[in-house]
Structure formats: C-alpha cells, structure tokens
Amino acid sequence: MKFLVMNGVNLNLTGKREQSVYGTQTLEQINEKISAFCERNGDEVSFYQSNIEGELVNKLHEAFLSRSCDAVIFNAGAFTHYSYALRDAIASIDIPVAEVHMSNVHAREPFRKTSVLSEVCKGVVCGFGANSYIAAIVAFKA
Ligand code: DQA
C-alpha cells in the first residue's frame, strides 16, 4: 500500500516540546521508524508536516486529485479539536484517513476529548506514542 503520513500544527517540535507527554523522539526519528516499518512490509510511505491549516487542506486535495496514496495517517495536532476546514477536506476525499494522536487525548484536558475529525475518519488511534502511527498503518493492512 501507499501511505501518506501527515502531521499538523506544532508536531514539528516533537521530541523537543512537552517531552513528558510526547517523548524525546523527534518527528524525523519517528518518520524514520515508520519508513523502516513500511519498507519491511513492502509498503510505500511519504511524509508531510505543516503548521498551516490551509496547507494541510491543500495536501489532502492533492493526494485525492493525484491518487498518490491509498490511505492517509493524520495527526492534525490541536487542529483536531476545532478545524472544520480539515474536517470538510477529509469528508471531500475518498481516500480513507486515520486520525492519530501520540498521547491519550481522553486522559488529558477536557478540550482534547472533542475531535471534529473523528466522524469523517475511518478510525482513530491514540495513546501509543510514535506507535500510534504504526498501529494505524497495521490496521489499514489487516
Ligand atoms: C496530539 C494531541 C493534541 O491534543 C495536541 O494538540 C497535539 C498533539 C497528540 O499527538 O497527542 O499537538 O495530536
């Protein structure tokens, strides 16, 4: 399969920010781990990160219009909790999207329990650190 792993706002600081919540692995290290996992399984993967909501919308449109992947693994960061633009973009495309979070958003502040994306995603994985991304990939392949 071809996967697109997308990360949204503030995820570029993974490994450097709030290490007690998100761990010490950088996004680059996490992406390398995902790459190695996909390579072992004969899958292709590409990565995209942006702090800008519209750029994430554009990337979803591009994936849809160019048919460049079979599934999207998406950690939208805080956009998860309020971005109707990303929700509509996910609803607009026929590529399945998995919502992913490294932390267990249900065990944190109340505002994190709300996701405006979940309803239009294929499924949700949270709480397994960097392995949340891998778990979503495995789920798509099962
Ligand atoms: C996050 C959880 C979000 O609530 C938060 O805003 C993030 C990261 C996670 O991976 O646990 O930036 O998506």
Q: Model confidence over 38-64: pLDDT tens digits?
A: 999 999 999 999 999 999 999 999 999
Q: Tell me the residue range of the domain where 67 lies.
A: 2-141
pLDDT of residue 23: 95
Ligand 1 in contact with 130 (CB < 6 A)?
A: no
Q: What is the number of the ligand 1 atom nearest to the C-alpha of 21?
A: 11
pLDDT of residue 135: 98
pLDDT of residue 7: 98
Q: How far is CA 124 from CA 61, 91, 127, 135, in A?
A: 21, 15, 10, 10
Q: What pTM was computed for the model?
A: 0.98
What is the pLDDT confidence band of residue 18, given thresholds at 50, 70 and 90? very high
Task: Specify whether 84 is catalytic.
Answer: no
What percent of the chain shows pLDDT beyond 90? 99
Mean pLDDT of the 112-137 span: 98
pLDDT of residue 81: 98
Report the DSSP beta bridge partners of residue 116: none
Amino acid sitting at position 91: A
Mean pLDDT of the 20-32 span: 97
Q: pLDDT tens digit string along 74-112?
A: 999 999 999 999 999 999 999 999 999 999 999 999 999
Q: What is the number of the ligand 1 atom nearest to the C-alpha of 9?
A: 12
Nearest in space to 133 (alpha carbons), one of 29, 13, 16, 31 = 31
- Closest residue by CA, ligand 1 atom 12: 77
Mean pLDDT of the 113-129 span: 98
Element (H, E) at 33: helix 27-40
- Count of structural domains within the chain: 1
